[in-house]
Structure 1
Amino acid sequence: MGSLVLGIWTQLIGGLTAFGFSLNSGRVLMFLLHLASTALVYGITLRATKRNLPAIIATLVFAFSPLVVALQRRVLLDNIMLVWLLLALFIILGENRTLKHYFMSAVCFGIAVQTKGAALGFLPAFVYIVTNHSSRIHRRFATGHWVALSLFIVSLYPLYAQMKEELFPQGWFLGGDFPHVSLLERLADRGPDTGRFLNIGAGFTESFQEWVNLGNATADPIIIYGGIVCAIFALLMAVDNRPLRPIVAMVLAFIFKLAISGPIFPSDIILGLPFLAACIGIVIGAVANAVGAVAGGSPVRYALATVVAAAMLYPFGIFYSQRTAPYTANQVEGQIEAVRWISENLPEDAVIVTDNYAFVELRRNFQNAHHYWKVDTDPAVKYAELGDDVCNIDYVLSTPQVVADVATYQLDLMRRAIEQSELLITYPNNGWPVEIRRTNKANCLASIVDSGADGANAG
């Protein structure tokens, strides 16, 4: 579904090059989706608290967080999925919900899962919300039909996979005897072995450091730590405040999803950030309201509540004002220069393994360009095209993201390709260096010579 959204967007704007570099077209879409997500954060918090102040606070925290800005500018399925997920929640919150609202919510949730399967982790939270917040008159009908409709839409995903012969692994019944990706195999993949049960939490330490370590320009420990603390208070408040329970349920579902999922990527936090921001808005708004209630008249009360809220937001403002790199640093120029250098200097038949940002641009002129993740995870690429052999790779376009993923998720062929390569050129790119590397074919030539000698001796 995410690819369909990107395809429709490309048609609407007149092609991938409508904004220059092909990736810019996707980033414009991500900006629009960020605006939509921000508006939904405001709407969800407003419906949960029925007050503007918590909604405004949640919106400001979410909109200006350097971590949110850094992740939501990237062309990720997570960002497309988030809008559908928030929309599904927004529709069923509030008063006077009818069956039409629940049906619309189920459709949005199904599309969210179709966009990226990670949204399925929120299914228990949605079932709880629909069950406990629908009218008694149609509660069973609303819950049953919400679950049935959403699961029907989700079921189209494995059906489509089977139509493409990508549901079962190679060698299985109905799986075929040719290398291909498999949905069932992907769902069963728990990532590299960590020695823990089902490899739970693989990659969490590295991802968490990216979220909170101030050595990372886009880290935001304020929204992470502050959101966790406020989520605890929101949980306590929800005991007697029923409208807050949906947001608490979404936070708990997100935590549970991280706890039981396989590999955890830095981008996985995208699903939790709106609800952490909402919890911050709820708690700060509640404190401001409690302090303002001490005052007598309404003007004084609102003024005092505003002052208290501003004081509690002060640390956020100071922190965000000092972390301007995500808003001002140009980390695109080096990326574009690297692609331009490849286009001007490398032969069109070269086999290039690249970071995802350059894949679409390079693929237009280099038919043998491959996304680095597929080099190790797609059997059709790893074995059928590359033969699991570094000698079949000519160049590597590497970034810190590629290096980190290779180490964290044990991408073996990519690791060998980087280790057996020499650096041609580096673009500093404001702290996010882009490297163009050429694989060393000396060992490959030696292997060919040895094979030829063995054949001659045998003859």
Structure 2
Amino acid sequence: MTSTLPAVTTPKVPAQRRPAPEARSTGRTRPPERLRSSRSDLLLCGLLLAAILVVQGWHIADYPTLSDDEGTYLAQAWAVQQGKGLAHYTYWYDHPPLGWVQIALLTWIPSAISPGSMTVGSMRIAMLVISGISAVLVYVLGRRLSLPRWAAGLGMALFGLSPLAVVLQREIFLDNIAVMWLLLAFCLAASPSRHLWHHFGAGLAAAAGVLTKETMLVVLPALFVTMWRHSHRDTRKFALTGAVTACALIGFSYPLFALLKGELLPGSGHVSLWDGVKYQMSRPGSGFILDTSSGSYGVLHSWLYYDRVLPLGGLAGALLLIVTWRWSVTARALAGPALAVAILAAVAMRPNGYLPAMYIIGALPFLALVLAGGAASVAHAVVRRRRAEGEKRYVTGGRYALAAVLALAAGAYVVPHWYDGDRTALTADANKPYRQASHWLSTKVADPKGTRVLVDDALWLDLVHAGYRPGLGAIWFYKADLDPAVTKTMPHGWRDIDYVVASPTVRRDAKDLPNVKAAIQHSEPVATFGTGPDRIEIRQIQTAAAGGAR
């Protein structure tokens, strides 16, 4: 009697589980392996991170020029560290305070070791932490959105090494911190594990980004699209509901904070959140971005001065991905970043909107990702066409040849421009006049404690460390006209001031501030540092009240 073994048969794969033809042609039927378990990813990401930290950190205190916004955020962080409340003057609801609370945490250790180093130039080093985390998150997000390794690395390099990014990411801006939180939210939303807590975490991270800089609110629809695409169909409703609920509950803590303080609505004797929102919504616009006579066009020109590749190339990449969305896997994977670029571009194109110079910071990671994704999409389309034409034996070699040609062509244009821009950031000293003015006010004034100086916030902490009284001796120049708590200590107006430090910011905004304008008009320069429009003049009031330093 003989027995036979049953024939071995290959089970049929149900049609609904077979990879689509497009997915088979891409060679990507599953998410990329986790970054922490991929030696190649770790090596590439680590090398790029080291390069970014070196380029952004070298000469960080000397370039670009110190800005009043940087000084304001750092001074507010100093006030938090000193237990003086949420700001170094009366807090009003211009931005949520979470941003400079984080700056206070970042600068706590160096300021505790050396209190005198709590100045804008030296504390820019804290922004390297933010830049490094954000750069890694760009790479992680690129891989989670199914970009090949080289394209994710390209996106990371574009984000961290573009001269535009180097200049803006060095500065102590709330936007840089908010971008870090938004990137974390996108990474959690695109998590291949699809755990519910990842989506809840994405909502919490998004709320932290909005409470750091409220302008990040406009990017949330793009985050929602990413979360929708990467959530599991069976738990999608729970995931999205949980994420939206978490984001809303944390976000509403800010108006709740104002309500509990009795400052939600306008009233006598206090600031209000409503007044802050009304100011932001009614502030004068800077004109249409394509009108050559508008302030917005000047901002656009300043961005393109540093780098044309990332802004224009990113816009082109977003347009390419949107147009090819129906038949491109890469385009669908990058739907969230492409939508983010489209929304941010639409907001910037408002006919009479206000466009600050740091606005583009929120777009930098998405511009980098869609530009890298556009390059990957074009490369794949060419390779797929060669395969369709029957040139299978040359596909692998052709792919590398194509990559080499594209890399050489892009490098021939990009490298010289980026070299010049990054070399300037690594060698120029734009802040020597500020250091000289700080040294003069620290050494040439006989009685700092009895002297009152109008100064912009870029130098405010320098003067505080030199012995001037915070808020009363060293006076942020806006407050001499706009803060009743300060103006009541100046019964004679500008005559109660001893010096005014006429930096470019002070001279520009003095026209709308009567006390500051009069102080400049009734003063004489006793020291000037730098030349031209960037000079800093220390001017002594000629008819100041008796008792001031002379």
- TM-score in same-fold range (> 0.5): yes
Specify the structure having the higher radius of gyration (Cα): 2
Shift of 1:98: 1.6
Distance across 1 between alignment mates of 2:124 and 2:458: 11
Q: Which consecutive unaligned segments of at least 5 residues does structure 2 have?
A: 1-97
Deviation by residue 1:376-409 (Cα, 9 ceiling, x = unmatched)? 655544x4455794344443334334545667xx
In the TM superposition, 1:289-328 aligns within 5 A as: 289-292=380-383, 294=386, 296-323=394-421, 324-328=423-427
Deviation by residue 1:72-105 (Cα, 9 ceiling, x = unmatched)? 1111212111111111112111433221111111
Distance 1:422 1:5, change over 3 A: same
Aligned to 1:227: 314
Shift of 1:245: 0.3
In the TM superposition, 1:80-95 aligns within 5 A as: 80-95=177-192
Aligned to 2:428: 329
In the TM superposition, 1:52-71 aligns within 5 A as: 52-71=149-168
| Number of equivalences | 426
3-state DSSP of counterpart to 2:334: helix
Shift of 1:430: 11
Distance across 2 between alignment mates of 1:419 and 1:104: 55
Deviation by residue 1:423-455 (Cα, 9 ceiling, x = unmatched)? 33232289953333334548x99xxxxxxxxxx
Distance across 1 between alignment mates of 2:317 and 2:513: 38
Aligned to 1:207: 299
Deviation by residue 1:174-203 (Cα, 9 ceiling, x = unmatched)? xxx32x443211111145545989xxx995
Deviation by residue 1:306-359 (Cα, 9 ceiling, x = unmatched)? 331332243121111122212211223332221121122233233323232222
CA contact (8 A) 2:287 2:354 kept: no
Does residue 128 of the first structure (1) align with residue 218 of the second (2)? no
CA contact (8 A) 2:286 2:355 kept: no
Does residue 42 of the first structure (1) align with residue 139 of the second (2)? yes
Does residue 254 of the first structure (1) align with residue 344 of the second (2)? yes
Shift of 1:228: 2.2
Amino acid at match of 2:140: G
In the TM superposition, 1:371-390 aligns within 5 A as: 371-375=476-480, 378=483, 380-381=485-486, 383-385=487-489, 389-390=493-494
Give the stretch that moved more between structures: 341-350 or 140-149.
341-350
Distance across 2 between alignment mates of 1:299 and 1:118: 46
Shift of 1:147: 1.3
Distance 1:427 1:265, change over 3 A: same
Aligned to 1:284: 375
Equivalent of residue 335 in structure 2, options 245, 258, 276: 245
Shift of 1:371: 3.0
Distance 1:307 1:257, change over 3 A: same
Aligned to 1:22: 119
Equivalent of residue 354 in structure 2, options 235, 255, 263: 263
Shift of 1:51: 0.8
Does residue 349 of the first structure (1) align with residue 450 of the second (2)? yes
Deviation by residue 1:198-245 (Cα, 9 ceiling, x = unmatched)? xxx995233223222x4xxxx323322222222222322334332110
CA contact (8 A) 1:203 1:265 kept: no
Aligned residues with identical type, % of pairs: 28
Aligned to 1:457: none
Equivalent of residue 3 in structure 1, options 100, 106, 111: 100
3-state DSSP of counterpart to 1:272: helix
Give the stretch that moved more between structures: 386-395 or 336-345.
386-395
3-state DSSP of counterpart to 1:353: strand
Amino acid at match of 2:538: I
Distance 1:391 1:65, change over 3 A: farther
Aligned to 1:167: 264
CA contact (8 A) 2:190 2:227 kept: no
- Regions of 4+ moved over 6 Å: none
Amino acid at match of 1:225: L
Q: Which consecutive unaligned segments of at least 5 residues does structure 1 have?
A: 446-459
Distance 1:355 1:220, change over 3 A: farther
Distance across 2 between alignment mates of 1:117 and 1:387: 37
Distance across 2 between alignment mates of 1:231 and 1:423: 52
Please tell me the root mean square deviation across aligned C-alpha atoms, in Å: 3.3
Amino acid at match of 1:187: V
Aligned to 1:449: none
CA contact (8 A) 2:285 2:353 kept: no
Distance across 2 between alignment mates of 1:58 and 1:185: 40
Distance across 1 between alignment mates of 2:531 and 2:198: 47
Distance across 2 between alignment mates of 1:388 and 1:98: 64
Distance across 2 between alignment mates of 1:384 and 1:14: 32
